[in-house]
Amino acid sequence: MIGYVTLGTNDMEKAAAFYDALLSTIGATRIMQEETFIVWATDPAAPGLSIIKPFDKKAASVGNGVMVGLAMDSPEKVNALHAKALELGATDEGAAGPRGDTGFYAGYFRDLDGNKLNAFCVTQQA
């Protein structure tokens, strides 16, 4: 259902380097780029993640309660993406691990602009 998610940035070059390195761990590459935005995806027909300079020319800010979930297919991939994010300067918002007994496994972090993301997988059906 989700086609893409857009995150605001105030430093396109810094954010682009962060997401190039981070998303390469899951096989995502830049599929579209203009002066004010970049989009990454694992396939042009798959959901994507974008960074953008806000259209209204005001500073980008973080939405409280807004989070982007990046679907992985194993706890190992969740661990790897979460670790890579922290290595690249992201802030830890919750170590990778199981959440409750529902089979939901996730690691949470904030990117260099303060946007909250998580890497997650479902290891069993509830």
| CATH code for position 118 | 3.10.180.10
Would residue 113 count as lying in a domain?
Answer: yes
Residue 109: is its pLDDT beyond 60? yes
Tokens 């290595």 correspond to 87
Above 60 in pLDDT, residue 126?
no
The mean per-residue pLDDT over the stretch 44-48 comes to 93
Residue 37 CA to residue 52 CA, distance in Å, equals 4
SS (HEC) of 91-103: EEEEEEEEECCCC
Residue 59 inside a domain? The answer is no
Tell me whether residue 61 is in a domain. Answer: no
Question: What's the mean pLDDT in 63-86?
Answer: 95
Q: Is residue 9 part of a domain?
A: yes
* Domain hosting residue 35, numbered range: 4-54+66-122
Mean pLDDT score of the chain: 94
What's the pLDDT at 125?
64
Residue (of 88, 117, 112) closest to 9 by Cα position: 112
The encoded tokens of residue 24 equal 């390469």
Q: How many domains does the chain have?
A: 1
Asked if the structure places residue 94 within a domain, the reply is yes
DSSP state for residue 62 in the 8-state scheme: P
Span 103-122, mean pLDDT?
96
- Predicted pLDDT at 27: 96
The answer to whether 117 and 69 are in contact (CB under 8 A) is yes
pLDDT digits (tens, 9 = 90+) for 2-42: 889 999 999 999 999 999 999 999 999 999 999 999 999 99
Residue 115 lies in a domain: yes
